Amino acid sequence: MLPQPQHFGLLRKFIPLLLTLGFGVVLFMAAEPLEDPGNAKAGRDLFVSKGCVRCHSVWSAGGKRGPALASVGMGRNLYELCASVWSHWSRMNAVIERDNEARTLLSTTQFRDIIAYLYYLNYNSEPGEAGMGEKIFRSRDCIQCHATDPLQAAGKPGRAVYEMSQFTGPVALAVAVWNHGNGMFTYMSQKRIQWPQFQEKEVADLVAFLRASNRTPTEMEMVVPGDPTRGRTLFGSKGCGSCHKSGTGPSRPAPNLASSGAAASVSSLVAGLWNHHPRMSQMFASSGIPYPKISLPEMEDLLSYIYWLKAYGSSGNPQAGSNLFRLKQCAACHSPIAGKAAAAASLVQSEATASPYSLLAAIWNHGPRMESLLREKKLSWPALSGEEMRDLVAYFQNGAPPAKK
């Protein structure tokens, strides 16, 4: 039986559609290529066929011997996921041996697909509560511009909530805020109404309230991510790159979206867009770049692109990785010289460390041999943080930087 969410049934409608999309696209940041995010449908199938589901659950469906992966993976980038697999591999291996589980091998492509499946599990936040959304709507002064009852509508500049039939999810809210935010901010400033700040859960609650308040209420639909490749193109054509970095390259006045915190869900991205809208609008005005309008499909693609940027985080430091290589005693088994074998193959400029996915595959497939070597040398299995894993990969890919003279 395939993993199914237990805490709300609507996700059963979302997952097949998400998996049908596949997400087999290639992304590129400013000067740093990103790996193919993989095929989420294939990843879901592999999660079951390779036995991951026997130990790990997804939304309460599956085994209990290992952590629930939807919560473990929330907010983590690929290097943090890779470090988690590494740090817990010895314990996972002990469970496999104890229970006489069949040991499976996973290729780089298969790991890429599994990570694509797991990474997008948290794109949707928990469903909001309409009652809580109404309290937020009133407490943040939204009621001053938007009526909740026809008897209150006279003189209100904004559309009444019972006429907002287009609000089917947080992305539609983001479109409304972006396209109408300048007028909203001007009016609120004149009336001395403070621009409210929202958290991720509050965005979900507001959307639930708006949906429930419509004259023709609609069933909640899960957010299907857009196309991140199209999102990257839009990121440039809409002028986002004039203020935000999306990877390496020259600094920008606004945060680097590839490293400015974790992407917990699409609602968290929408909350960030809302909270910073006045500043973004002012930066457009001061730069002389025309303020762009964004359609619903375009916003879907843009948010999907930004969400995937979080999967990679910032670039690693080869020098820090070289230092870690010695500190973590990797040199006890692996030569620091590319192509030169010691007790185990060199990891420097190796195909096994060309990407986070290939590194995951190498860790998983060669773990028993690695653990045996560590026992022979009376060394413990070293734990790694996501930052340490990122720096090690940078070192493996580029080699040690030249010594400063």
Length in residues, the chain: 405
- Confidence (pLDDT) at 261: 57
**What's the CATH class of domain 11-76+100-122?**
mainly alpha
Write down the pLDDT at residue 171: 92
Strand partners of residue 61 = 58
**pLDDT the model gives residue 27:** 33
Nearest to 257 by CA among 312, 297, 296: 312
Q: Please report the pLDDT score of residue 339 as a whole number.
A: 76
Domain boundaries, the chain: 11-76+100-122, 130-307
The list of the chain residues with pLDDT below 70 reads 1-38, 168, 217-222, 247-251, 259-264, 313, 400-405
- pLDDT of 249: 63
What one-letter code names the amino acid at 367? G
Q: What's the pLDDT at 259?
A: 67
Give me the pLDDT at residue 344, please: 84
Q: Give the residue from 293, 131, 140 showing the smallest Cα distance to 204.
A: 131
Interatomic CA distance for residues 305 and 126, integer angstroms: 21
Q: Which pair of structure tokens corresponds to residue 10? A: 């609507």
Which amino acid does the sequence have at 260? S
pLDDT at 321: 94
φ and ψ of 164, to 5 deg: -90, 60
DSSP collapsed to 3 states, the chain = CCCCCCCCCCHHHHHHHHHHHCCCCCCECCCCECCCCCCHHHHHHHHHHCCHHHHCEECCEECCCCCCHHHHCCCCCHHHHHHHHHHHHHHHHHHHHHCCCCCCCCCHHHHHHHHHHHHHHHCCCCCCCHHHHHHHHHHCCHHHCCCCCHHHCCCCCCCCHHHCCCCCCHHHHHHHHHHHHHHHHHHHHHCCCCCCCCCHHHHHHHHHHHHHHCCCCCCCCCCCCCCHHHHHHHHHHCCHHHCCCCCCCCCCCCCCCCCCCCCCCHHHHHHHHHHCHHHHHHHHHHHCCCCCCCCHHHHHHHHHHHHHHCCCCCCCCHHHHHHHHHHCCHHHCECCCCCCCCCECCCCCCHHHCCHHHHHHHHHHHHHHHHHHHHHCCCCCCCCCHHHHHHHHHHHHHCCCCCCC
